[in-house]
Chain A
């Protein structure tokens, strides 16, 4: 009863965390992705563009590009508009303007596995195969499965002018090109110097240094310090780590969607006729 009253009072005073159920405005922009798909890196890059006067780090990133679900009602209401916020949510019709980042699920699962070890949600002996199984079933987090999250946004919004799809792999390969796309999507005029500086200051090396200097950000607090948050930031690392059966399981679940997004399959013979790609649309 006491707990209920405390919660009720908190909520009444706007000091509770509304989770998915917070007030969305039409001029909000969301940086959305399934977890471990390069969202934090993208937040840093975009923070450089929208706040050129500040240098983003793990201490201020939650203020510059806040995590919508990490804040209380009052904190959310106090943010200057238009807001640019991070989210991991599957399709939410209230989000009008969305930058969606997608990453090869075979890399995502490995990254999430290490992240869960860092957050002490699984111990060091937890088998990777078992983790992949719950990953495919969408049981590793509250944001649906990888395929569910990605498909829910693509099916509903891929034709909208208020939707920008970024592939993490393209961002790594040609960061400046992709960042220029983001700037024009957001309607921000940028000079080549600003873009170059954003890229340089958000490199994996720089991010690792920033992480070492601070552990107050929501993404890293209360976690194991022996496992870094900014890991290898690479493409195709799964080839060395993921067991063959796990790869087959992932491709069996989402092979079509992966081909559609331009990810080459280990077992393409299982896919009969996916003869079109998202990339061909642009």
Chain B
């Protein structure tokens, strides 16, 4: 009962976390990504791009880039427009402007395995093979909250891809490209958002975001696990321009619904990561 009342008071004063019932505004910008895709780097870059006069650090980042599951309703009400939001959820039809940060699932898997072990969310004895089975099923943490709607990597990426891949209000960003050439990628983001693309401003945003260095840490996954990942999501990976090492990409794309939707059946549409660049 006390808990109920406390919740009620929080709601009345706007201190609750609005989660999915947050009313979305037409100019909201959503940064979507799967966990362990280094989204914090992109959050810093965007925060610095939008607020060149403000010092963005780990303490105030969550007031600048809002998370419906973490920030309070009051944060949302006080945020300048357009609001920048961050999500781990799969496809959400309410947002008109979406930037999806995608990272190679083989790196995501490895990084998630290490992070979850460090956080003691998974048993230290859990082998990488057993972990990958769970990862593929979207159940890497045994007791995920019933509100966790991030799904598996393939579900998360695939759900956005299926609906928005050719939508003008949608931008793919590969983490690997961000590491390779942050200036070029941030310029694409600025173009997409209709912000000034002055090279000085872009370099300044990158410099100020240096507290999260852009590096792609890679550890080799055992070949069998790479094969399982490519077996499950080979078509999505190939559409995103990730090189498959255990199977033929043509084979992965054959009879693939996602490839069909991405290509639109008539003329091949350029895939993100190679032809999509200005």
In the assembled complex, the CB of B45 is this many whole angstroms from the nearest CB of chain A, namely: 27
The distance in angstroms between the C-alpha atoms of A255 and B163, with both chains bound, is 14
Confirm or deny: A226 has a beta carbon within 8 angstroms of a beta carbon on chain B.
Answer: no
A residues 1-35 touching B (CB-CB < 8 Å): 4-5, 7-9, 11-13, 18-21, 23-25
Asked whether, in the complex, the Cβ of A260 is within 8 Å of the Cβ of B257, the reply is: yes
In the assembled complex, the CB of A156 is this many whole angstroms from the nearest CB of chain B, namely: 4
Asked whether, in the complex, the Cβ of A91 is within 8 Å of the Cβ of B91, the reply is: yes
Confirm or deny: A272 has a beta carbon within 8 angstroms of a beta carbon on chain B.
Answer: yes
Confirm or deny: B93 has a beta carbon within 8 angstroms of a beta carbon on chain A.
Answer: yes
Asked whether, in the complex, the Cβ of A93 is within 8 Å of the Cβ of B138, the reply is: yes
Asked whether, in the complex, the Cβ of B163 is within 8 Å of the Cβ of A18, the reply is: no
| With A156-B155, A156-B158 as contacts: A151 and B266 at CB distance below 8 Å | no
Residue of A nearest to B155 (CB): A156
Confirm or deny: B234 has a beta carbon within 8 angstroms of a beta carbon on chain A.
Answer: no
In the assembled complex, the CB of B254 is this many whole angstroms from the nearest CB of chain A, namely: 8
* B264 in complex: contacting residue of A5, A18, A256, CB < 8 Å: A256
Asked whether, in the complex, the Cβ of B93 is within 8 Å of the Cβ of A271, the reply is: no
In the assembled complex, the CB of B185 is this many whole angstroms from the nearest CB of chain A, namely: 26
| With A13-B4, A23-B146 as contacts: A90 and B163 at CB distance below 8 Å | yes
Asked whether, in the complex, the Cβ of A5 is within 8 Å of the Cβ of B257, the reply is: no
| With A12-B7, A12-B11, A92-B149 as contacts: A148 and B21 at CB distance below 8 Å | no
The distance in angstroms between the C-alpha atoms of A12 and B5, with both chains bound, is 6
Asked whether, in the complex, the Cβ of B19 is within 8 Å of the Cβ of A152, the reply is: no
The distance in angstroms between the C-alpha atoms of A152 and B160, with both chains bound, is 7
Asked whether, in the complex, the Cβ of B90 is within 8 Å of the Cβ of A93, the reply is: yes
A76-93 CB contact bits vs B (8 Å, 1 = yes)? 000000000000001111
A122-163 CB contact bits vs B (8 Å, 1 = yes)? 000000000000000010001111011001101111100000
B residues 126-163 touching A (CB-CB < 8 Å): 138, 146-152, 154-156, 158-159, 161-163
The distance in angstroms between the C-alpha atoms of A94 and B145, with both chains bound, is 10
Asked whether, in the complex, the Cβ of B146 is within 8 Å of the Cβ of A91, the reply is: no
Residue of A nearest to B160 (CB): A152
| With A93-B149, A152-B91, A257-B261 as contacts: A12 and B8 at CB distance below 8 Å | yes
| With A92-B149, A156-B154 as contacts: A21 and B159 at CB distance below 8 Å | no
Asked whether, in the complex, the Cβ of B90 is within 8 Å of the Cβ of A151, the reply is: no
Confirm or deny: B260 has a beta carbon within 8 angstroms of a beta carbon on chain A.
Answer: yes
For residue A7, which residues in chain B have a CB less than 8 angstroms away from its CB?
A: 11
| With A93-B150, A155-B162 as contacts: A4 and B91 at CB distance below 8 Å | no
A227-257 CB contact bits vs B (8 Å, 1 = yes)? 0000000000000000000000000000111
Residue of B nearest to A6 (CB): B12
* A143 in complex: contacting residue of B9, B12, B93, B161, CB < 8 Å: B93
Confirm or deny: A190 has a beta carbon within 8 angstroms of a beta carbon on chain B.
Answer: no
The distance in angstroms between the C-alpha atoms of A77 and B30, with both chains bound, is 32
For residue B148, which residues in chain A have a CB less than 8 angstroms away from its CB?
A: 93-94
Asked whether, in the complex, the Cβ of A274 is within 8 Å of the Cβ of B260, the reply is: yes
The distance in angstroms between the C-alpha atoms of A256 and B259, with both chains bound, is 11
| With A93-B90, A256-B260, A273-B265 as contacts: A152 and B162 at CB distance below 8 Å | yes
Given contacts A12-B11, A24-B146, 20 further A-B contacts (CB under 8 A): A4-B12, A5-B12, A11-B7, A11-B11, A12-B5, A13-B4, A19-B21, A91-B155, A93-B138, A93-B149, A138-B93, A144-B91, A154-B257, A155-B161, A156-B155, A156-B159, A257-B260, A259-B265, A270-B266, A273-B265
11 contacts between A and B (CB under 8 A): A5-B12, A8-B8, A12-B4, A93-B159, A147-B163, A148-B93, A151-B162, A151-B257, A155-B257, A256-B265, A260-B257
Q: Give residues in B with beta carbon < 8 Å to A.
A: 4-5, 7-9, 11-12, 19-21, 89-91, 93-94, 138, 146-152, 154-156, 158-159, 161-163, 255, 257-258, 260-261, 264-266
7 A-B pairs with the lowest CB-CB distances in the bound complex, closest first: A93-B151, A12-B8, A8-B11, A151-B162, A155-B162, A256-B265, A148-B163
